[in-house]
Chain A
Amino acid sequence: MEPSELERFEAIVLPHLDAAYTLARYLTRDDHDAQDIVQDAYLRALKYFGGFRGGGADGSDGRAWLLAIVRNTAYTWRRRHRADALATEFDEEQHSDAVAEHHPAAALERDGARQSLHQALDRLGPEFREVIVLRELEGLSYKEIGDVTGVPIGTVMSRLSRARRRLQAALCPNAKGA
């Protein structure tokens, strides 16, 4: 690869390292796995960079493009390590409160609202957790979320809505959402 091409890649893709790590970290709930996934994703991104023809002046294209690769890498990672204990954490049904309590932020934080929110987020399936992260933490549009997750906008909407209903139930267990 030409040095100038690497510089272009770094200029477009490296600024989104925090977003990449945030997504990987919330998907895997493990710092080491998240780091390995992000590193792997950047290598893949470099490989496919020739095919990337984004040009959004604000760089948002580069972000959605990278996050799609991070997400795919995380899911491949999960399949590859399916036999591992870490992979089972991905499965909503098998995910118990005990695991949620090991979430560092939840364990350290006495605040009830924060703890229930983190627990509820942990208990969401990855396809719901990722839309919350992409929308609420990264501020992606529905279209961008659809690009990242590879589903139609209608599916983005319904997943986001379902995820929020569950989080809301966890936040205010007594309030019945209309």
Chain B
Amino acid sequence: MTHRELELQLDAYVDGELEPEDARDLETHLQECADCARLHQARVTLSAAIRHEVPALRAPDVLRGRVRATLRDAAGTSGVRRVLSPGAARWLALAASLAVVALGSWRLGLSRAGDEALAGQVLASHVRSLMPGHLTDVVSSDQHTVKPWFNGKLDFSPPVYDFAGRGFPLIGGRLDYAGGRPVAALVYGRRQHLINVLLWPATQGSVGGSLTVATRQGYHLLRWTTPEYAYWVVSDLGMAELHDFAQLVQRADSAATIPAAARALP
């Protein structure tokens, strides 16, 4: 085997693409040939260096909005397909994506008209929060900084948790407005994804509702109520992971509010 062929095999081996039999042969050779062993080590190092120094990128939020808006535009006018020039679309996309948010919520699989309107508002809040400078009013991964920040700004003190240990670090909080009232918005992260949690006190006599799920424009929305709070969670994170997150919040909530829950029982 020529050196060039060996190098090809080595690369395939490092990538886990070599047939098991060939891989065993190569491993034997690596124990015998110092040159190839050195090359193998260099390739492993290189791979690690690339992954460390050359980042996979996150699409800018403005592009996210542009793509969504152009898709809506193209799908909606399929009879006379009109494709915006990218330059024009760049300007229109953001405005259009907000209009879509406002108009598009009718397709949410939620039961009541009020919920659907609310879902639209929550989604709009999420999209708006992704625009530069709109995400957080208070930036802190410390729940004991974020929670007191809401004092005097809201007529309730929202429960704030940090799930950094579970891969959902707290990023911060902000004031927002939904359902005709000021609400608390908590921002959590998951890798490159952002999760917005909007919550406000449950209406009097609420018994708590199970989880409702909806998907709009590639965003997932989860909603549930506890005896104390109405919760909305929205993110572009995958549904499975978002479910995990919702369960973390629910568990943390029930751990924190056992006395209140007990009071609610007859």
Contact = CB atoms under 8 A, between A and B. Distances in A.
B57 A10 contact: no
Contacts of B238: 15
Main secondary structure of the interface of A (DSSP, over half): helix
A178 B3 contact: yes
The size bracket of the interface on A is: 35 or more
Contact of A43 (B58, B71, B107, B215): B71
A49 to B, nearest CB: 10
B59 A20 contact: yes
A117 B54 contact: yes
B47 A43 contact: no
B262 interface: no
Interface in B83-127: 83, 86, 89-90, 107
A157 interface: yes
Contacts of A5: 75
Contacts of B53: 111, 113-114, 117-118
Interface string A45-57: 0110000000000
B120 to A, nearest CB: 16
Contacts of B3: 178
A25 B59 CA distance: 9
A61 interface: no
A67 interface: no
Contact of B57 (A18, A164, A178): A18
A170 to B, nearest CB: 10
A123 B4 CA distance: 22
B7 interface: yes
Contacts, number: 136
A21 to B, nearest CB: 4
Interface residues of B, number: 51
A15 B72 contact: no
A7 B15 CA distance: 35
Contact of A136 (B7, B38, B51): B51
B192 A18 contact: yes
A25 B57 CA distance: 8
A114 B234 CA distance: 36
Nearest to B89: A39
A165 B8 CA distance: 10
B50 A167 contact: yes
Interface stretch (B61-69, B129-137, B156-164, B199-207): B61-69
A87 interface: no
Interface in A9-44: 9-11, 14-15, 17-22, 25, 31, 35-36, 38-40, 42-43
Nearest to B78: A1
A66 to B, nearest CB: 11
A141 interface: yes
A121 B39 CA distance: 20
Given A117-B53, A136-B51, 15 more contacts: A1-B75, A10-B218, A11-B215, A15-B238, A18-B59, A31-B60, A38-B63, A43-B74, A46-B75, A113-B53, A114-B53, A121-B54, A137-B56, A164-B11, A175-B42
